[in-house]
Structure 1
Amino acid sequence: MSSKSTRILIVEDETHLAQGLFFNLQAEGFDVEIAGDGESALSALSANGAAFDAVLLDVMLPGKDGFAVATELREQQNFVPILMLTARGRPEDVLKGFAAGADDYLAKPFDLSILMARLHGLLRRMAWHAPVAPTEQRPDEVSKFEFGGRCIDFESLELTGPEKRVHLTLMEADFLRYLVRNQGRIISRKELLEQVWRVREDTDTRAIDNFVVRLRRYIEDDPTNPTYLKTVRGVGYRFVP
């Protein structure tokens, strides 16, 4: 997966950790840059020609923290894959990161091999969403899913409706893909936490509810009275296209 053309931005204010990641990622063949704070990261990511394939984003940064950086990137329609690094690793911090637009997380301190596995996985997921020839597609996957005059394009990471076009983050696309695979079935909040967000600790499930509220803005005519993504009180949700 790694190659010299694959560019990674490390956003980390701890110099020794940033340098350690820099040299290890370079040894893996990545083209790597470092930003020491949130503002520098946003500048690097918005600079002309400075396209990155993934971002390792620390939560605790001087000035704008990682949550604010992720939120601002998504508001700017920048959907670069984000692996968020959190010092505490508490479930609520992880879920807050996902709500901000992160695609994966890793708690500090971490083993380098685990970080590399997560990074390669993130890049594979991005490649998985890239267009491929029909003969290369997995038989259990669909590149597009249409319902109610709407279309989810898992290759371009776009959702189009009668009056809108929304670019999806990897996590939003993964969430929608899980709903499509399990359409008509009641899916518990716990299942969504474990299977989509890979959070297995007992935690507040309100983050899932907030995420669903956001998706409803994309797919429903009236998000307050959903037609497609229905709440099953006390249990979870059901996607009924």
Structure 2
Amino acid sequence: MAGPVIALVDDDRNILTSVSIALQAEGFVTRLYTDGLSALRAITENPADLGVFDIKMPAMDGLELLGRLREGGGGAATMPVIFLTSKDQEQDEAFGLAAGADDYIAKPFSQRLLVARIRAILRRADMARRPAEGESEEPVPAVIERGRLLMDPARHQVQWAERPVTLTVTEFMILEALAQRPGVVKSRNQLLDVAYQEDVFVDDRTIDSHIKRIRRKFRAADNSFDAIETLYGVGYRFSDG
């Protein structure tokens, strides 16, 4: 049985080859693309289970590629994505998360770390998908209703005031953690524990970027959305009032 399919997009063929070999050794199936344009066409027609995109590429960079995929609908719109960023371009991290990426890794990177993060994200995606497809006998997670918010973890579906909102796997996990206990403050570290369950090193400010992205998506459905509150120096909480 074939393993999860990983779409690798990078204009550096040496990186593509070395990462592909490492992932195949771990049981993954890889598809390689050296530019964003060819990756956009292929992934739109046949989405992978997860994408690993370099940000700095000619013609169409990783940010534009992800944005086009997220706007296109279908399976490609919700495909988890990890960005590879240049170590000397720290702003890439914020841009990548703001564009809807699930994670980022700075170059040069450990292939072991990349594999760990891929597995962590795929595990979360699988948890969201399996009960809805009847592939697991585990109890189906309960639907969460909080004011105008409706979350169905089994189907990875979110609605606000009966309007659908599309979230990445990481965004869904963060919002779910907040919505499960309205009014209770969650620190950045607590939300990191939810979003990154593997032994990986992630700046706690990563959560801020995810929260901004979540708010932006909900405000696209309802400009008055203010259910996620910031308590400066403390963390975040969900209000269903």
TM-score, normalised with respect to structure 2? 0.80
Partner Cα separation in structure 2 for residue 89 and residue 155 of structure 1:
40
Say whether residues 1:214 and 2:216 are aligned partners: yes
Partner Cα separation in structure 1 for residue 193 and residue 93 of structure 2:
13
Identity of aligned residues (%): 31
Q: How many residues of Structure 1 are paired with residues of Structure 2 in the alignment?
A: 230
For the 8 Å contact 1:4–1:31, the answer to whether it is kept is yes
Aligned to 1:85: 84
Aligned to 1:69: 65
- CA offset at residue 129 of structure 1? 1.0
Equivalent AA in structure 1 for residue 67 of structure 2: T
Any gaps of 5 or more consecutive residues in structure 2?
none
- CA offset at residue 237 of structure 1? 3.4
Q: Aligned with 2:38: secondary structure?
A: helix
Partner Cα separation in structure 2 for residue 186 and residue 39 of structure 1:
43
For the 8 Å contact 1:56–1:83, the answer to whether it is kept is yes
Partner Cα separation in structure 1 for residue 115 and residue 163 of structure 2:
37
For the 8 Å contact 1:150–1:219, the answer to whether it is kept is no
For the 8 Å contact 1:89–1:106, the answer to whether it is kept is no
Say whether residues 1:155 and 2:151 are aligned partners: no
Partner Cα separation in structure 1 for residue 8 and residue 82 of structure 2:
10
Equivalent AA in structure 1 for residue 51 of structure 2: V
**CA-to-aligned-CA distance 1:102-150 (integer Å, 9 cap, x gap):** 1111111111111111111111111111232796249xxx442112243
Any gaps of 5 or more consecutive residues in structure 1?
none
For the 8 Å contact 1:150–1:161, the answer to whether it is kept is yes
Partner Cα separation in structure 2 for residue 32 and residue 233 of structure 1:
42
Equivalent AA in structure 1 for residue 219 of structure 2: R
Equivalent AA in structure 2 for residue 20 of structure 1: S
**Alignment RMSD:** 3.0
Partner Cα separation in structure 2 for residue 17 and residue 205 of structure 1:
28
Partner Cα separation in structure 1 for residue 113 and residue 119 of structure 2:
10
Partner Cα separation in structure 2 for residue 29 and residue 212 of structure 1:
33
Say whether residues 1:200 and 2:196 are aligned partners: no
Partner Cα separation in structure 2 for residue 230 and residue 220 of structure 1:
16
TM-score, normalised with respect to structure 1? 0.80
**CA-to-aligned-CA distance 1:177-216 (integer Å, 9 cap, x gap):** 2212442123456765786476426x69874663353154
The verdict on how the C-alpha distance between 1:165 and 1:177 changes in structure 2, with shifts beyond 3 A counting, is same
Partner Cα separation in structure 2 for residue 5 and residue 129 of structure 1:
18
